[in-house]
A = this chain, B = another copy of it.
Amino acid sequence: MNVIGKKVRKVDGQELITGRAKFAGDYRFPGMVYGSVKRAGVPAGRITKIDADAARQLPGVVDVLTAADIPGPNLIGVLPPFDQPLLASDEIRYDGESVVLVIAESAEIARRAAEKVSVTINPYDPILTVDDALAPDARKIHETGNVTFTKKLIKGDAAAAFEGADVIVEGVYETSNQDHAYLEPETVCAVPGRRITLYASCQSPFHIRGHVAANLNLPASSVKVVQASTGGSFGGKDDVATEIGALACIAALRLNRPVMIAHERAESMIGSNLRHAARIRCKTGATKDGKIVARDVNVLLDGGAYASESPFVTMKTLIHAAGPYTIENLFVESTTVYTNKTYCGAFRGFGVPQVTFASESQIDELADKLGMDRLEIRRLNGLKAGDANATGQVYQQSVGLQETITKIAESVETSAPTTEDDRYLYGTGYACVAQGISNGAEGVDVTGASVQMSQDGSVLVGIGLTELGQGSRTVWAQLASAILGVSLDRVSVRLVDTDGVHDSGPTVASRSTTVGGMAVLKAAEEVKKSLVTMAGLMMKTDAENIELRDGFAILKMDDNARIPIPDVATAAYWTGFPLMNLAFSKAPDADYDHDTHQGDVYIAYNYGTHRMDVRVDKLTGQVKVLNHLAAHDVGKVINPLGLEGQIEGASLIGFGFAHMEKIRYRDGIIQNANFADYALPSIKDRIPTATIPVEDHNPTGPFGAKGAGEPPVAAAGAVFANAVSDAVGVRFERLPITREDIVEAIERGNHD
Contacts and interface: CB of A to CB of B under 8 A. Distances in A.
Given A499-B497, A503-B573, A589-B576, A221 B459 contact: yes
Interface in A579-632: 579-582, 584, 586, 589
Given A22-B194, A450-B582, A221 B458 contact: yes
Contacts of A30: 28
Contact of A222 (B209, B492, B578): B492
Interface string A207-222: 0011001100001111
B576 A460 contact: no
A536 interface: no
A458 to B, nearest CB: 3
A22 B192 CA distance: 11
A9 interface: no
Contact of A221 (B20, B454, B499, B589): B454
B502 A578 contact: yes
A458 B500 contact: no
Interface in A14-32: 15, 20-22, 28-30
Chain copies in complex: 2
B446 A576 contact: yes
Contacts of A499: 452, 460, 462, 494, 497, 500
Given A194-B15, A458-B219, A503-B454, A578 B446 contact: yes
A5 B500 CA distance: 29
Contact of A213 (B20, B209, B456): B456
A446 B8 CA distance: 37
A492 B15 contact: no
Nearest to A193: B22
A556 interface: no
A492 B214 CA distance: 16
Nearest to A580: B502
Nearest to A446: B576
A562 to B, nearest CB: 20
A448 B21 CA distance: 30
Given A20-B194, A22-B194, A220 B576 contact: no
A265 to B, nearest CB: 25
Interface string A476-517: 000000000000011110100101111100000000000000
Given A21-B194, A582-B581, A210 B576 contact: no
Interface residues of A, number: 58
Contacts of A500: 450, 462, 497, 499-500
A460 to B, nearest CB: 4
A443 interface: yes
Interface in A446-469: 446, 448, 450, 452, 454-460, 462
A556 to B, nearest CB: 27
Given A492-B219, A586-B576, A214 B456 contact: yes
Contact of A448 (B194, B219, B502, B578): B578
A221 B22 contact: no
Contacts of A458: 213, 219-222
A365 to B, nearest CB: 42
A12 B194 contact: yes
A579 B214 CA distance: 19
Nearest to A501: B580
A750 interface: no
B455 A219 contact: no
Interface centre among A445, A456, A500 (most CB of B within 10 A): A500
Contacts of A446: 573, 576, 578
Contact of A219 (B220, B490, B497): B490
B444 A573 contact: yes
B444 A574 contact: yes
A454 B576 contact: no
A580 B448 contact: yes
A413 to B, nearest CB: 48
* Residue among A221, A457, A573, A589 with most chain B CB within 10 A: A221
Contacts of A502: 452, 578-580
Contacts of A584: 578, 580
A193 B20 contact: yes
Contacts of A686: none
A195 interface: yes
Nearest to A18: B194
A575 interface: yes
Nearest to A490: B219
A742 B491 CA distance: 62
Contacts of A489: 219
A579 B20 CA distance: 34
A444 B576 contact: yes
A220 B578 CA distance: 16
A738 to B, nearest CB: 41
A72 to B, nearest CB: 11
Nearest to A16: B194
A370 B697 CA distance: 85
Given A219-B457, A220-B458, A581-B582, 15 more contacts: A20-B194, A28-B30, A195-B494, A219-B458, A219-B489, A219-B492, A220-B455, A221-B452, A221-B459, A446-B576, A450-B582, A455-B503, A497-B497, A503-B573, A576-B589
12 contacts: A21-B194, A195-B494, A221-B458, A221-B490, A222-B492, A444-B575, A445-B576, A448-B580, A450-B582, A502-B578, A580-B584, A581-B582
Q: Which 7 residue pairs spanning A and B have beta carbons closest together? A: A219-B458, A220-B454, A582-B582, A500-B500, A221-B458, A578-B584, A221-B460
